[in-house]
Amino acid sequence: MIRDAVPDSDEAYEVPPPDKSTAADQLEAALDQFCDLLLSVDDLCRPAVGHWTVGDVAAHIAGGSGVYAAIVAGKGSPFGSIAVEDVAVVSDRLIAEIGDRDVTSLVERIRAGGKTLTSAARAQDGNPTIPWHAGTPVPLSALLGLFIGELLVHGYDIAHASDRHWQMPQSWAHTAFRSMVPLVPVYLDQDRAGDLRANFDVRMRGEYGPRVVFALADHRVTVCLPQPGRKADCYLSADAATLLLVLFGRIGPTVPALTGKVFAWGRKPWLGFILPSLFRTP
């Protein structure tokens, strides 16, 4: 039974980043799984997501592996903005620059960039904060987790388009979610949020599943851990992979709610249905 309560604690904490070593291990496994999927695909021209084909998605990941490796090496990011529209423009440009759409070449490029990325991350002492896109500071482990999220969601795109099976391990989804939640305020759609004032207590299921609070007020959202004695308006318990796909706009909230993959309760449980729509898909 899920309790309508908060932890017994006298303090509130910021959302902690994932463990760097764990994130690096998971990223290497996710890269292997993604490349295996790509090698099984027989048509790179199939529509995948938006205006991108399967080949475009593969090229996006191939380019992304190099971008993330360059960031960790201190060479900066080609993304001067993290606004959704600006990211889309740069992403399309980077995809267009990859002219070789031979699947073997794409896989080799992904593996090379991924190896450089994880090796550079492991070589750094501790978990330093580094400048991500547009100079946004993120812990190194969170940068690895963000790329895990890219692989999970875009692997889903390719598998869904190509009638292939795709696994989204719970622990990988946990790491991706922990990495992205501090960036959630950037993607709030202020027009959709309007004057809404509400606290959402969001919990990913599974061992060590992250739990965070999205507090909306005054056209802003603050992300933090639950605070003692403070109730939320809406509590959400969600299957890790399902929540990731909902947040990235790959599936809607209705079917997960009907099948129990996402469960809402509290004073205003209906707010759970509108939460994903309050954010722009990154």
- The pLDDT tens digits for 154-207 are 999 999 999 999 999 999 999 999 999 889 998 999 999 999 999 999 999 999
pLDDT tier, 279 (very low <50, low <70, confident <90, very high otherwise): very high
Question: Measured between alpha carbons, how far is 16 from 70 in angstroms, rounded to an integer?
Answer: 25
Across 110-125, average pLDDT? 96
| DSSP bridge partners of 279 | 188
Model confidence at 5, in pLDDT bands (50, 70, 90)?
A: very low
Q: Report the alpha-carbon distance of residue 145 to residue 141 in Å, rounded.
A: 6
Count of alpha carbons within 13 angstroms of residue 165, beta-carbon side: 2
Q: Which residues contact 242 (CB under 8 A, 6 or more apart)?
A: 251, 256, 261, 262
Check residue 281 and give its pLDDT.
82
Q: Find the mean pLDDT for residues 66-78.
A: 95
Statement: residue 3 has pLDDT above 60:
no
Supply the mean pLDDT for the chain: 92
Question: What pLDDT shows up at residue 1?
Answer: 29
Task: Check pLDDT > 90 for residue 142.
Answer: yes
Q: Identify the pLDDT of residue 164.
A: 97
d(CA 166, CA 34) in angstroms, rounded, equals: 9
pLDDT at residue 100, as a whole number: 84
Q: Which residues of 7-24 are buried (b: 16+ CB within 10 A; e: fewer)?
A: eeeeeeeebebbbbebbb
Mean pLDDT of 122-126: 96
Comparing 2-11, 37-46, 145-154, 251-260, the range with the smallest average pLDDT is 2-11
Domains defined along the chain, listed by start = 20-183 (1.20.120.450), 188-278 (3.30.1050.10)
- The single residue listed with the structure tokens 């295996």 is 36
Q: Report d(CA 176, CA 163) in Å as an integer.
A: 24
The structure tokens listed for 33 are 């799984």
Of residues 163, 58, 149, the one with CA closest to residue 111? 58
Dihedral over Cα of 135, 31, 247, 159: its sign? positive
pLDDT value at residue 229: 84
